[in-house]
């Protein structure tokens, strides 16, 4: 692989199995290939699946992009696959950050499928709302980006009453008497209970 430091020791770059160059949009790209690799905890054998690692050097960046793949592709196709990956990952990424779908504690077989499905649905709705609603973060934001993160920031500082009214007047009148109950910080204070002997 590329030259790197590990445990305060400098490791020289491993010679590449193949080097490929190509032109794209007036830029010259270079790719270095390493074939028939296995994970460090496995021993190489004909039964074990292998993969390749490709270091793609873009002249606009200092560090190469390291990609691992089990398919035997040429460098332009592999770079195209990597760039097409981000639109696919937008919906799960939006769902992870917006509705907290990054961790799940479900074990029933149906729930293991249902939660990711609902997360993808929620992520697509959030991405659509973010793309159609330009939400500035402040008066200085003249050209707001249409991202789920902006929608999340806007929703975090918005109350339900600030949203468009769902019905004229109050949605539901509370008929119970609550004037005798403590309000504000007094409602959160706890009084010491007497010790029982």
Per-residue pLDDT reduced to its tens digit, 177-187: 878 888 777 77
Quote the pTM value: 0.51
Euclidean distance between CA atoms 152 and 94, whole angstroms: 10
97 close to 151: Cβ distance less than 8 angstroms = no
Written as six digits, the tokens of 4 are: 């790197």
Res. 171: pLDDT tops 70: no
Return the H-helix or E-strand segment holding 116: helix 109-132
Q: Which position has the token pair 């509705």? A: 99
Q: Is 195 exposed, middle or buried (0-12, 13-18, 19+ CB in 10 A)?
A: exposed
| pLDDT for residue 106 | 74
Per-residue pLDDT reduced to its tens digit, 25-73: 899 999 999 988 888 777 767 777 888 999 999 999 998 998 988 888 8
Per-residue pLDDT reduced to its tens digit, 146-167: 777 777 777 777 776 666 655 5
In order, the DSSP letters of 27-93 are: EEEEEEEEEEE--TTS---TTS--EEEEEEE-TT-SSPEEEEESS---HHHHHHHHHHHHHHHHHHH
């Amino acid at each position: 692989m590329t030259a790197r430091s590990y445990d305060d020791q400098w490791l020289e770059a491993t010679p590449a199995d193949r080097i490929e160059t190509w032109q794209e949009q007036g830029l010259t790209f270079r790719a270095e290939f390493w074939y028939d690799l296995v994970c460090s905890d496995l021993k190489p054998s004909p039964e074990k699946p292998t993969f390749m690692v490709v270091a793609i050097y873009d002249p606009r960046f200092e560090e190469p992009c390291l990609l691992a793949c089990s398919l035997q592709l040429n460098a332009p196709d592999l770079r195209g696959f990597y760039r097409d990956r981000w639109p696919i990952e937008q919906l799960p990424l939006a769902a992870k950050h917006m509705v907290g779908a990054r961790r799940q504690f479900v074990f029933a077989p149906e729930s293991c499928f249902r939660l990711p499905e609902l997360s993808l649905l929620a992520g697509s709705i959030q991405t659509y709302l973010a793309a159609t609603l330009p939400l500035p973060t402040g008066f200085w934001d003249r050209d707001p980006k249409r991202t789920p993160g902006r929608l999340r920031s806007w929703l975090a500082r918005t109350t339900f009453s600030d949203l468009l009214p769902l019905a004229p007047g109050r949605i539901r009148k509370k008929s119970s008497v609550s004037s005798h109950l403590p309000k504000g910080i007094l409602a959160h204070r706890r009084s010491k209970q007497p010790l029982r002997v």
